[in-house]
Amino acid sequence: MLEHVFIPRMGDRERVIELYENLKKSSKAELVASYNNAVRIGIVGAHAQAIRLIALNWSFHDAFQKSPIKIEDNVLISLTGAIDLKDDDWEYQN
């Protein structure tokens, strides 16, 4: 499964911020590897996984000004497929 319906809970924002602060220390290669690991595992429907994907999405936007994680209406979280690091950017694998 590559989609998750996120239903916010109390304390989620603080947890996302904490994870985001940790992910900001990651290299672009580490961000790509983390994302690809999520694609490999798939979305399992765990709330904690959704929180991590939101933080990872923020980190991708900081590092690349775009993200392979799609969040629609602040509710539906989707993984769009495996990616490769290409120079200083990422692109979808063929």
Q: How many CA atoms lie within 13 A of 68 on its CB side?
A: 22
- DSSP letter at 85? E
Q: How confident is the model over 25-51, as pLDDT tens digits?
A: 999 999 999 999 999 999 888 889 999
Instruction: Quote the pTM value.
Output: 0.92
Cα separation, 45 vs 43, whole angstroms: 6
Task: Using CB atoms within 10 Å of the CB of residue 64, give its burial: 0 to 12 exposed, 13 to 18 middle, 19+ buried.
Answer: middle
% of the chain beyond a pLDDT of 90: 79
Distance CA(90)–CA(38), nearest Å, equals 16
